[in-house]
Each structure stands twice: as structure tokens, then as C-alpha cells.
Amino acid sequence: MIDVVSIIIAVVSLVGSLVAAGFTGWISFYIDQVKRRSESKALIHKYRDPLTLAAFDLQSRLWGLVQLNLLRYIEDEDKKDLVYVYTAFLVGQYLSWTYILRRQAQFLRFSTDKTNKRLNQILETITSEFSLDTHEGDEQDPFMLWRGQQMAIGELMTMVEENGQLYCMGFAAYTHKYHNDPEFKHWFQPIERGIEVLVGARTNGNSMATYRLRRLQHLLIDLVLLLDQDRVASGQNKQLKVNAANECRCDGCPGVIVEASNSDPPTSKLPEP
């Protein structure tokens, strides 16, 4: 009888220890998850505004290139340089802020937060769209940047303050380096060549050359809408997106598919170079 009681006491003690250990482990896991969510939200909040502005500025430039008449300024010697240099800067600015976010938030990819997952998904889709090789060559599919090129441009565009904070270089500093550092400028050659292709495509009525930029513009708007809830509330999604392109992966792709030509819009809506 004594042995049975001893066994029962031992079993109860063992079960109690296991339950306590399991509960302690669950509490630790829960606290760690809460901490991760809190840190990820803090990082998103910290970089939300510069990333939103970078994405919006880039999509605006892409809108001007494919749907307005920005390429007309190529014929103006005083403004020609701005079309090339500022377009390349806007691509670099976006890649810089995404580089900074990913460097500061490596754990976001493991986050269970729905917004963070959607953010990762859009950022990855934009990266994939830039690097997509359709095997059509530069003349048909400009602005292709391999993943390594995107990362390198993001690195080159990123500066470090004395306190260790990362930020993107300004346009004045970029312009100086672009014109005086051949190695730096080399990384942006796909953008410059891409603009030249768009100029030729505009003359020849070849809309295929704009497909990547149209898809990128749509995805950048999705990113802006995710980060800027005020814009979501105002219902500006479809109004902000250019006409669609084939195989677009954006959210609820609006507009009509561009087919054969890309006719010039009225000159009364010229964007600034």
C-alpha cells in the first residue's frame, strides 16, 4: 500500500513539474512574440514615412514616363539631364530605404503580423519585378536590375550619421557623385539605357517597353496604400494606377491592358522633369 501511494505521489509530482515547465515555456514564447511584434511595429513606424514618400515619388515618375509626356523633355537640353539623373535617383532612393528597412528588421520575415506579411510580400514582388528577365533584351524590356544590382544600389545610396542612424543621400549629393564618380554612375546605367529605350519605343509606338514600369507603378501604389491608411480611406486606389500591363501582380489591377501603341496625351498635363 505504501509503495502504491509513493508511486501516485511521484507521478503527480512529475505531471505537475511537466505542466509547470510547459506553462513557463509557453509564457516565454508568448512574451517573445509580443516583443517581436512590438519591435516590428516600432521599426515600421520609424521607416514608414520615408519609405512611403520614396515609393510615391518613384511611382509618380513612372506614371510620367509611361502615361504622361515626361519624355518630351529629353528634347530640352536644359531639362534633359533631370529626366535621366532624377529618375535614377528616385530608383536609388526607393532601393535605399528598402535596404535600410531590411537591414534593421531581419526578423520581419518571421513575423506573424498580417500587415508585416503583406509588406514583405509587396516588397518581394517589387524586387522580383525589377529583376524579371523576359529574354526580350533591353530594347523590349528596359529597367531590369538583378537582385544583386538592387542591393548594391541600395547600399551605395545609404549614408550613416554619427549616431549610427541610416538614411538615404539627398539629390544634390547624388547628382554630384553621379557626375564625378564613374564607378558610382555605372550602377545606374540600366536606368539611363532604359530611358533611351522608352524614347525610341515612344517614337515607334512600341508599348511593350512600358510593361515593366506599369507593373512596378501598380505595385508601388499597393505599397503606398498599405503604409498610408489615410489614402486607403479616401478610396484613391484605382485613380492612382496607370493603365494595366500584361501579367500584372498588383492588388485588383485596374484599367485596360495596353495593346499596340502608347499615343501621346495632351501636352497640357506635362509633369515636371
Residue 26: is it exposed, middle or buried by C-beta count within 10 angstroms (0-12/13-18/19+)? exposed
Which secondary structure element, helix H or strand E, spans residue 160, and what is its range? strand 158-160
Q: Are 245 and 214 in contact (CB under 8 A)?
A: yes
Q: Report the C-alpha gap between 137 and 145 in whole angstroms.
A: 12
Angle (CA) 43-124-132 rounded to 5° is 150
**With bands split at pLDDT 50, 70 and 90, how would you rate the model's confidence at 35?**
low
Q: Are 33 and 188 in contact (CB under 8 A)?
A: no
pLDDT in tens, 58-98: 999 999 999 888 999 988 888 888 899 999 999 999 999 99
C-alpha cell at 205: 509606338
Query: For residue 28, what pLDDT is reported?
Result: 61
pLDDT in tens, 113-137: 777 788 889 999 999 999 998 766 5
Q: Cα 160 to the chain's mean position, in Å?
A: 21
Q: Are 242 and 255 in contact (CB under 8 A)?
A: yes
pLDDT in tens, 237-268: 545 898 888 889 898 887 666 654 444 433 33
